[in-house]
Amino acid sequence: MSINKNIGLELDLEKIEELVKLREDKNIEFRAFLKGQDPDKIDETVQRINIEISSQIDCTTCGNCCMKLKPFITEQDIKILSQRLNLSQQQVMDDYIEIDEGDQYFKNLPCSFLKEKKCTVYNDRPEDCRSFPHMHKRNFISRLWGVIENYSICPIVFNVFERLKTELNYI
Ligand code: SF4
Ligand code: SF4
């Protein structure tokens, strides 16, 4: 069963994919509605809901972002990974990195460092991985396209977005 009844969250990735299709139009409308709201109040509400929801979701039983998304990689990330993996920075580049329009990303999906839904370089993972799903950041309203993209991938984003609709009485 897809709904976790204890905490009232939707955690089943297949069910989330189905709901994403069903709610596509409504989410576009909700995005337009949010654009008319006070950005600071929305940030405050999203950050509060995010703390509540992310504390109830165990990423080590999910790993979906590491299967579906390629994180942005900085020079500092490469330096840290080279130390962690005991490889030269050039070797890390050759083995793990691709360049797209001048920006660096991991090249493999699922991520080469994901094993049984867990990150094998967790303490040395890239900054973009640490920050994902970015719901703690300010300017939520100006990042809505990215949020809606991640809504279909990440149960934290999905549940925060749905809770936000409820709290704003957006039926
Ligand atoms: S480095 Fe770790 S957290 Fe980042 S994408 Fe790979 S497995 Fe996921
Ligand atoms: S951040 Fe989201 S998609 Fe990634 S492991 Fe956690 S719940 Fe899953």
First CA to last CA across the chain, in angstroms? 25
The one-letter code for the residue type at 73 is I
Q: Is 103 exposed, middle or buried (0-12, 13-18, 19+ CB in 10 A)?
A: exposed
Give dist(CA 108, CA 110) in Å, integer. Answer: 6
- For residues 159 and 51, the answer to whether their CB atoms sit within 8 Å is no
Mean pLDDT of 114-141: 97
Identify whether the C-beta of residue 80 lies closer than 8 Å to the C-beta of residue 129.
no
107 Cα to the center of ligand 1, angstroms: 12
Note the pLDDT of residue 134. Answer: 97
Per the CB < 8 A criterion, the answer to whether 164 and 52 are in contact is no
Nearest CA to ligand 1 atom 1: 125
Tokens representing 81 are: 């990974």
* Average pLDDT rounded to a whole number, residues 113-135: 97
Candidates 60, 66, 69: which one to mutate for ligand 1, based on the most atoms within 8 Å of Cβ?
66
- 114 has a pLDDT exceeding 50: yes
* Ligand 1 lined by 96 (C-beta under 6 Å): no
Q: How far is CA 159 from the centre of its chain?
A: 12
Q: Tell me: the pLDDT tens digits for 1-20?
A: 333 433 589 999 999 999 99
**Lowest-pLDDT range of 2-6, 7-11, 66-70, 76-80:** 2-6
Tokens of 89: 């920075």
Is 133 a pocket residue for ligand 2 (Cβ < 6 Å)? Answer: yes
Find the mean pLDDT for residues 98-104: 97
Q: What is the mean pLDDT of the chain?
A: 94
Q: 113: Cβ below 6 Å to ligand 1?
A: yes
pLDDT for position 8: 85
* CA 112 to ligand 1: nearest atom: 6
What pLDDT sits at residue 3? 38
Regarding the beta carbon of 57 and ligand 2, being less than 6 Å apart is answered yes
pLDDT at 171 over 80: no
Q: What is the pTM of this model?
A: 0.93
Q: Choose which residue among 68, 113, 132 to substitute to test ligand 1 binding: the one with the highest number of ligand atoms within 8 A of its C-beta.
A: 113
C-beta of residue 125 within 8 angstroms of C-beta of residue 119 = yes
51 pLDDT higher than 60: yes
